[in-house]
Structure 1
Amino acid sequence: MRTDATDSIDRGDLEALLVDIWKQLLSIEENTIDTDFFASGGHSLAAMLLIARIESSTGISLPLAALVRHSTPRALAAYCLARSETPHIETSLDGTETQAEYLIAYNEPERQTRRSEAYEVYYATAATSAAHAAFCDLVYGANFGQHGMADVAQLDFLIAKMEIGAEDLVLDIGCGYGQIAEYIHDRTGARIVGIDISSSAVARGNERALSSGKPLRFIQMDLQSLSLPEMKFSKTISIDTIYFTNDLQKTLSSIRQHGTETMRLGVFRTFPLRSFTDETWSPHISELGHNLRKLFGGYEAYDFSKEENAHWRKKVEILESLRSESIKEGNENLFQFRYAEARYEAKIEQRRYLFVTD
């Protein structure tokens, strides 16, 4: 990765290149060297694409924070030519790509297929593991077989801020076994429909719903292909699942179309800080924030970053205490699936928010 490429670049040429990249990513015709990236519709994912294109075109590696501080082609070109330091560029777990490259490619079809297969194995295995049940109890405060980051306190906060009640028909995107949906129903009386890509998780959820007689229904479905034309939801929730779409705007538009006129959406979403800084990062520059403003008119973002970083450290500690129990019951692969993720995430500074639309 070259970081000394500015030695041979003329300022005017660099500004012209940046103007062209701005135009490509923002899809705007009226674009000058003083066009502000974020004020013109740019967001965090587009920022990662921009940084990647600058490097591929010029060899210049930049931290994402530089774009926030220098958000016009004129200002960013001046920064590139004036800086002397080599930026710290974070890499993925195996070190083969930058973290930005990893995140950009996160929902490529091949990676989505591998991830879906891994989750199918997870849900088929975790349901019968006593060690995993103990892990969920200790980490989340209740065993719902969950694989996200929302503990019971965050679920209760979501219920309160969304004002979910008995009159609501709720769509739960990425419902897993349906036990979080059941918890929300027990707390509120709401009717809930859940979708998940895992057939084994959905089957277990429907078995539980049938035996309990509760107004819960679970459907195997990809959130990228949402199709429930006979239903209009008054509330929709996505708890650590909105990551799994390769077209966020399209998915959010589909969610909006499946709602009543007054539907509210609640999304738990975690962001690795990457090469942003506390001063330059905000949920409002995220792709999610940008699209929620565009499609839903506005939102409130509630900060759970402190809890998120403690969450991953807690996972590592508890998993290590349950290692031998997991191996004894023949679930070493399940243990490694959770442990490898937790160790990796615990090393990354995270920012977590609950987004609730107006």
Structure 2
Amino acid sequence: MGSSAKKKKEKKKDFQKPKLKVGKAKPKASNFTDTSFKSKAIVLQQQLAENAPDPAERFKHNLSLTSSRSDTQRRDALSYLAGQLSTNPPTNPVGTSTLLQRLLPMMSDSSGPVRGQLLKLLRHLPADEVRPHVEKIMLYIRGTMTNISQEVKDDGLNYMEWLLDVAREDVVSSAGCWVKPLKDFMSVLGWTVKVAPTTTTKSGWTSAPRTTFGAKKYGQSFPRQMLVLSKFLEMGFKPGVPTPWTPNDWFDNIGCVPRVPDPFGYLGLFKPPRDEDGEIYRNREDRQDIFQKRFMAAIEAGVDMAKKEGGTAGRAAATLDQVLKDGMGDYEQNSRLDDDGHLWAGYIM
């Protein structure tokens, strides 16, 4: 019985109100934590200290991290660089040329977030500083467009659109930036030009055309490729802006040295260079001429096949067809004086 009375007394003790006495402190709880201490030192962030790294050094450090083996570290480094370039004024202590030299190989990076962050960074670069490097940029874009990975190919189209928006006519008028990209587009689309057709079908079309029926994962790549090709051709077929003519220009053309290579190439006095793919096609007529000779038949056949497919591919093919009509509608094939078939006609060799 004694133990039972003891338990009852302990239970009553839990519900009893403690009697507080004047001058006596309240008892502390069992889980009380003492927070009355004071700090003797203030810890500042590194950027607030006097010996913090210089912003230029931090920029160069993050630029070096773009070659890291970690995907996350490369992405974060690109994000930091993009943030510095987006400020007003932008922070770029190494210059656009050095920046492109380090970042262009990352276009074909195996990580999708890294490629996406790289595209955001490229959009912050000044257009005037990008145009002198069009030929170098196009080399990496072409390598990305013909990559074995479909995801990398799709990002290559994004890079191509960015370059067309930034450099515009400078893209199609640079050395090797007209025929070679067109060949890559033909290869990606499956519209390979035949060298020596042996059948009676329309020349320029392969025996295995590209279709997207049943393509669940990459069905949208084919229409997008045609849309980017349309944008590329639209830029190449864009008419030049006419410049006003004054009487002084006539004397300047006679007495001044031409500032462009091969200024009399339009006369056809000499044979064209052997490397037709890497030639510079400065004016619209030259681009139309080589396009008609090497790519027109293949693209027309491919557009017809895509229209029959319908859907998104059919709409993209209709856009490409309209670009062809607008760009090649006024094309007139001119015979050059250096054509072997006409130059020596009537002569006995």
Greater relative contact order, per chain length (Cα 8 Å cut-off, separation 6+)? 1
Which structure shows the bigger proportion of residues in strand conformation? 1
TM-score class, shorter-chain normalisation, is under 0.3
